[in-house]
Amino acid sequence: MSLNALLSDGARFAPEYHGGLSNHLPMALVALQRLGADEARLEAFAVGYAERLAPAPAVQAWSAGDAWRGRFGEPEAWPAYRSLMAEWIAQEGAGAVLAQALPALMPGCGAGAFHGPIRVAYAVASGHEPELADALAYWACRHLPLGPLPQAPGRVADPEALLRRLQAGRSRQPLIAQRMRDAAASPALHAEIARLAIDAGTLERLARLSAKAYTASGNFTALHLLTACHAMRVLQGLLDDPLEALRWFWQAWATAVVAAGLTQKPPRPVLDWDRIVPRALASDDEHVVKLIDSCREEERAYGGDDWRRAASRAVAVG
């Protein structure tokens, strides 16, 4: 089956399973194809991954006249948002919908541990409009506001200098998004968030910090920070005000760092891409597949060895 056929077939599954884990099937399929997987490998991955998934809930129409932002953050609203987004895209086209929806969604970009924007970015890359509708619906129903933005612009250019001042969160919640919500209650965190000066180089700095954090720690949240930076780079080109979107992204990114509680692990050997990519293609771990794809794409955009080092950590054996 082709990627498009597999994405269409994947629409029969719910966006989450096992009590709030995100369905990575469409994202991983796009990542695998970009890494060079053939149709047989894509189909084998889809068949294996689908065993854990739940069936999609019954179709629900969006109530005519209701404000489309009115059910942000309601997980049970996904079927209705799915219908709304599909109809909206059919009427106005994907580009017009993204231009209108993304600015409204960005204040909750931590949705589902960043899987809202990550899934939308992969849907954009695939060009598959039904998957884009489902991805936008997921971001909307898991919208995760973490507080207002600071009124005054910050003056510190280096986010790493600010992060050194923050203490790790103490939340025992099982999911990343839940720990982020707990971390966002800290006034000290928001005081540091307000100090960063957002500019055209901010996203690259955050992406490199994410890669270095994952390389040093192998932390699961750090993995999501890296793939979220990749997604944000894809989406910012679709925004009229990318710097405003980056302010929201920085808030969510910094909150996730605090929630992660990063600790250092022993280093791993740095591999070449010709050893990394085959391991990713053979992997049934959706997070490894997405991370390796994100690292390759970020290296193409920014250059340097940060991405290969992070990718080597992800495919390390033993």
- The domain ranges of the chain are 1-56, 273-315
Give the pLDDT of residue 168.
Answer: 79
Q: What is the pLDDT along the chain (318 residues), one digit of tens a residue?
A: 899 999 999 999 999 999 999 999 999 999 999 999 999 999 999 999 999 999 999 999 999 999 999 999 999 999 999 999 999 999 999 999 999 999 999 999 999 999 999 999 999 999 999 999 999 999 999 999 999 999 999 999 999 999 888 877 888 899 999 999 999 999 999 999 999 999 999 999 999 999 999 999 999 999 999 999 999 999 999 999 999 999 999 999 999 999 998 999 999 999 999 999 999 999 999 999 999 999 999 999 999 999 999 999 999 975
Cα–Cα dist 36/280, whole Å: 10
Give the pLDDT of residue 318.
Answer: 58
Single pTM value for the model: 0.97
